[in-house]
Structure 1
Amino acid sequence: MSYMRRCWKYYLFCLTVLAFANLYFLFLIQDRQIAYLVYFDILLVVFFLLFAGSDFYNYRKKRLWKKQLLGLESVICDILPVSEGFENRDIAEHDIRILKEKIQEQFQEDCELQDYVAKWCHEFKIPLSTCLLIDEKMEDGKLKRDMREPLERMNRQINTMMAGCRLQSPLFDLQIKKISLPECVKASVRNNQFFLIRKKFALDVQVEELSVYTDPAWLVYILDQLINNALKYSGREPGLRIWSERQEKKVMLFVEDNGEGIRDNDLNRVFEKGFTGDNHHNGKYKSTGMGLYMTAKIAQKLEHEIKVESEYGVYTRFTIEFS
C-alpha cells in the first residue's frame, strides 16, 4: 500500500498517455489497422509490467535495508553511502550538527549547575555539623531532642542531594573493592540510629562475616535509603530485620520491615522515578518517589541486583544480590 501511495500519480499518468494514444489512433488516423494497435498495446503493457515489477522489487529491497539500519544503535548517517543518500542529505547533516551543539551547550550548563549544587551542599554541611555538635552539648533534654530531629532530617536531605548530583554527573565515581558486609550494615545503622531510637524500632541484625566487591560508600547509601523507607512507613510496633545468606556463588543481603507494606499493583513500580503509590501512605508522609529510584540506579551502576517483595499491611523485604 505504501508503494502505491508513493507511485500512483506516476502510473496514472502513464495509463492516461496510453489511453490518449489509443484514442488518437482509433479516431484520428484514417488508414488504421487494429492488429497493429493491439500489438503495440501488448508491448507497452509488458514493458510497463516489467518496469513496475523491477521498481517494486527495488523499493521493497530498500525498505528492508532501511528497516535493518533503523534497528542499529549507531548513527546511520556515518555509515550510509553517499550514493544511497537522499536529496537533502546536506541539510539534514547541517541540522544534526546544530542540534548536537545545542545538546552539548545544555549538557555543559547542567554540569555547571550540578557543580554549584554540590559545592553548596558541602558549604551547608559545615554549619549544619556545627549545629549538631552544639545540640549534643545541650543540657536541656527536651530542647535537645526537639532540635536534633530537624537537624538530622536536614543532614539526610543534604546527603541525598549530594548523592543525586554525583549520580547524575558524567564522572560518576566508583571505587570497587573487597569490603566487609557487616561493617557497611553497621555504618548505615549508625547513620539512622537517632530515628530508629526515636521511633522505638526493634532491630535484629544477623549479617554473617562475608566479603563482597562493591563501593562501600554507595552501598551504605543504598542501605540508608532502605532503612529510611522502613522509618517512613513504620507500624505501631515497628521492627527492622537485616540478615545475609550465601547462595552458591552469590551473597544475598535482606532488609525487611513490618510496616505498611506495598500493594500488589505497586510492586513493579516502586523503583520508578517519582512514583509514590496510590495509597498516599495514609497521608502520614508525602514521598517524593526519588529514594528508591536512586537506589535502583546506584545498584545498577554497581552491577548489583535489587528486588522487592511485600505483603500489604504485613512486611516489605528488599534483597540485594552480590555476584
Structure 2
Amino acid sequence: MMKKYLLERWSWILLFFFFQGIILLIGYLDPSLSFQSMLYIVLLFFVIFIIFFVIQYNREVLFYKNMEEWDPKIGIENIQEGKTPFEKVIESTIKQQHSYYIKEISNHVTSVEQEKDELLSWIHEVKTPLTTIKLMLERIEDDKFKEQLLSEWLRIHLLLDQQLHLRRIPLMENDLFIERVHLEKVIVSEIRSLQTWCLQKGIGFDMSLEAPEVYSDGKWLQFIVRQILSNAVKYSENAEIEIHSYQKNGAVVLEIQDYGRGIKEKDLPRIFEKGFTSTTNHRDHAATGMGLYLTKNAAKPLKIKIDAQSKYEVGTKITLTFPKSNDFIKLISM
C-alpha cells in the first residue's frame, strides 16, 4: 500500500523537493544569506514533512485498505464510512451503483421467473393436444406410416419433457419425495413409451434385475432412466440394450448397456456438459446435447453417482450407483 500511496502523491512530493531546492539555490546565490542557515531550514522542513507524511499516510490509507480488502460477496455494509470529501464521494458512488444493480437484478429475476412460469404453462398446454394427436395417430390403418408418425411424435414429446425438467431442476430439492422404488416398474414404463421408436429401429431389451428396489424419488428417477434409454435407442440400430442391477459394497448399481454408435475417447469426458453433441457427426441435427447434462444434474440431489464407459462403434454403458444406507439418511434429512 505504501508504494501505491507514494505513486498517488508523487507530484506533491516532487513539488516539496522542488521548493526546497529553490531555497537552497537562493541561499547559495545570495551572499547576504547564510547558506548554512538555509540548509538548516530545509532540514527542518524535511523533518516536518516526514512527520506530516506518516500521519497523513495512516489517516488516508485506512479507507483505501478497507476498499482493497473488501469482498463484494459479503455485502456493501462492510465498506468503511468515508471521512474526507473524496472518500465520501467514492462511498456514495459505490452505494448508489450497488442500489441500482440490486434493483436491476431484482427486475430481471422477476422477469425471468415470469417467463419461466409462462413457458412451463405453455409446455403443459401443449401436452394436451399432443395426447390428442397420439390417440388420432393410433387410429391410422397404415402400420408403417403410423410408426413413422408416432416416432416423430415421440421425439417432440421427449424434447418438451427435457424443457420441462430443465426449468424444474434448479428447484428440484424442494420437490423430492424419497420412497422405495421398483426398478422394473420404472424401466418397463419407459420402454413402453419408447416402443414405437424401438420397433422402427429393430431394438430389443435384455433385462436382469438382481437388486429390484432402490430408495429414491420415483418421478425424477424415471426422468433419469428416460434420458439414458432414449439416448441408447437414438444411437442404436438392430441391437439389444442390456439392463442389469446388482448390489456392490452395500449400494445398488444399475447398468444400461447399448451396442450403438458409441463415443470417441476424446469426447467421453465432455458428454455431461451442457450443449455438447460430440465431434463424431456434426450433421447430427437431432442431438441437442441436453439429455446427459440434465441426467447428471438430476442425479446430484438424489446422491446418485453416474458414470459412462464407451468405445466408438462398439457401444456405451451408463452406470448409476445409488446411495448407501448412511447416505440415504442424509438424503432424507434434506
Shared fold per TM-score greater than 0.5:
yes
**How far is the alpha carbon of 1:231 from its aligned partner?**
1.7
Describe the shift of the 1:147–1:92 C-alpha distance in structure 2 as closer, same or farther (beyond 3 A). closer
Between the two proteins, the alignment pairs up a number of residues equal to 312
What SS does the aligned partner of 1:88 have? helix
What SS does the aligned partner of 1:107 have? helix
What SS does the aligned partner of 1:122 have? helix
**How far is the alpha carbon of 1:59 from its aligned partner?**
7.7
Query: For residue 211 of structure 1, what is the amino acid of its counterpart?
Result: E
**How far is the alpha carbon of 1:188 from its aligned partner?**
1.8
Match of 1:100 among 72, 97, 105: 105
Describe the shift of the 1:153–1:290 C-alpha distance in structure 2 as closer, same or farther (beyond 3 A). same
After superposing the two structures, state which structure 1 stretch, 45-54 or 299-308, moved more: 45-54
**How far is the alpha carbon of 1:194 from its aligned partner?**
2.4
Could you tell me which runs of 5 or more consecutive residues in structure 2 were left unpaired when the two chains were aligned.
Answer: 324-334
Aligned to 1:175: 177
Aligned to 1:16: 15
Whole-Å separation in 1 of the counterparts to 2:68 and 2:99: 27
After superposing the two structures, state which structure 1 stretch, 50-59 or 104-113, moved more: 50-59
TM-score by length of 2: 0.79
Whole-Å separation in 1 of the counterparts to 2:298 and 2:242: 22
Whole-Å separation in 1 of the counterparts to 2:166 and 2:57: 59
What SS does the aligned partner of 2:253 have? strand
* Alpha-carbon contact 1:182-1:209 (below 8 Å) kept: no
**Residues 1-323 of structure 1: matches in 2 within 5 Å?**
4=3, 7-27=6-26, 30-32=32-34, 33-37=37-41, 39-40=43-44, 42-44=46-48, 46-47=50-51, 50-51=54-55, 54=58, 58=62, 62=66, 65-66=69-70, 69-70=71-72, 72=73, 75-80=74-79, 82=81, 86-135=91-140, 138=141, 140-167=142-169, 173-235=175-237, 237-280=238-281, 283=283, 286-323=286-323
* Alpha-carbon contact 2:76-2:95 (below 8 Å) kept: no
Query: For residue 203 of structure 1, what is the amino acid of its counterpart?
Result: F
Describe the shift of the 1:78–1:242 C-alpha distance in structure 2 as closer, same or farther (beyond 3 A). farther
**How far is the alpha carbon of 1:95 from its aligned partner?**
0.9
**How far is the alpha carbon of 1:270 from its aligned partner?**
0.9
* Alpha-carbon contact 2:257-2:317 (below 8 Å) kept: yes
After superposing the two structures, state which structure 1 stretch, 149-158 or 189-198, moved more: 149-158
After superposing the two structures, state which structure 1 stretch, 180-189 or 148-157, moved more: 148-157
Whole-Å separation in 2 of the counterparts to 1:208 and 1:4: 70
**How far is the alpha carbon of 1:309 from its aligned partner?**
1.8
Whole-Å separation in 1 of the counterparts to 2:163 and 2:8: 61
Describe the shift of the 1:82–1:57 C-alpha distance in structure 2 as closer, same or farther (beyond 3 A). closer
After superposing the two structures, state which structure 1 stretch, 261-270 or 26-35, moved more: 26-35
What SS does the aligned partner of 1:301 have? coil
Percent of paired sites with the same residue: 22
CA offset digits 1:92-135 (Å, max 9, x no partner): 23313321332233224323322332332232233124224424
CA offset digits 1:256-308 (Å, max 9, x no partner): 11111111221121111211111116x46531112222212221233322121
Whole-Å separation in 1 of the counterparts to 2:128 and 2:14: 80
What SS does the aligned partner of 2:267 have? helix
What SS does the aligned partner of 2:9 have? helix
RMSD: 3.3
